[in-house]
Amino acid sequence: MERNPMRRQLASLRKSLFDQGYLDEQFMELEQLQDDANPNFVEEVVTLYYRDSARLILNLDHALERRPLDFSKLDGLMHQFKGSSSSIGAKKVKAESTLFREYCKYGNAEGCMRTFQQLKKEYATLRKKLETYFQLARQIGPMESANRPK
Partner 1 sequence: MTVEQIGSEGKDQFPIGMRVLAVDDDPTCLLLLGTLLRRCQYHVTTTSQAKTALKMLRENKNKFDLVISDVHMPDMDGFKLLEHVGLEMDLPVIMLSANGDTKLVMKGITHGACDYLLKPVRIEELQNIWQHVARRKKKDRCNSGSKDKPHPDSGEAAGIGNVDNNGKLNKKRKDQNEDEDDERDENGHDNEDPSAQKKPRVVWSVELHRKFVAAVNQLGIDKAVPKKILELMNVEKLTRENVASHLQKFRLYLKRISCVANQQANMAAALGTADSAYLRMGSLNGLGNFHTLAGSDQLHNAAFRSFPPSGVLGRLNTPAGLGIRGLPSPGTIQLGHVQNSGHPTNDLSKLQSFVPGNHNTNILQGMPMSLELDRLQHNKSVGHIGELPTTDSTTVFPGSGKLVDARITGFSNNPLLGVTSNSLMLEGSSQQATSHTSVSAIGFQNGNALSDFTSIAPASYQLQDSKAGSQGQASPINCNAGQIIRSAPQEWNAPRKDAPYQSHASINSSIPINSAMIQLGQCLDRNNSIFHRTTDLDSVGPLNFVDPLSIKHGEGDNSIMEPSVIEKEGYLMFQPRPHGSHVPDNIGSLEDLASAMMKQEGGCNGYSLRTSI
Instruction: Enumerate the H helices of the chain as residue ranges.
Output: 3-19, 25-33, 41-65, 71-88, 91-105, 109-140, 142-147
Residues between 60 and 99 with contacts to partner 1, criterion CB under 8 A:
76, 79-80, 82-84, 86-89
First to last CA, the chain: 22
Binding mask 100-129 for partner 1 (x = CB under 8 A): ------------------------------
Stretch that binds partner 1, among 5-13, 41-49, 59-67, 127-135 (CB under 8 A): 41-49
The reply to whether 16 sits near partner 1 by the rule CB under 8 A is: no
Q: What is the smallest separation between the CB atom of 86 and partner 1, expressed in angstroms?
A: 5
The reply to whether 26 sits near partner 1 by the rule CB under 8 A is: yes
Nearer to partner 1 by Cβ, of 41 and 111: the residue is 41
Residue 97 · residue 85 · CB < 8 Å? yes
- Count of residues engaged in binding partner 1, rule: CB under 8 A: 24
The reply to whether 32 sits near partner 1 by the rule CB under 8 A is: yes
Q: Which residues contact 102 (CB under 8 A, 6 or more apart)?
A: 111
Residue 55 · residue 80 · CB < 8 Å? no
CA distance 92 to 109: 21
* Residues engaged in binding partner 1 (CB under 8 A): 26, 29-30, 32-33, 37-38, 41, 44-45, 48-49, 52-53, 76, 79-80, 82-84, 86-89
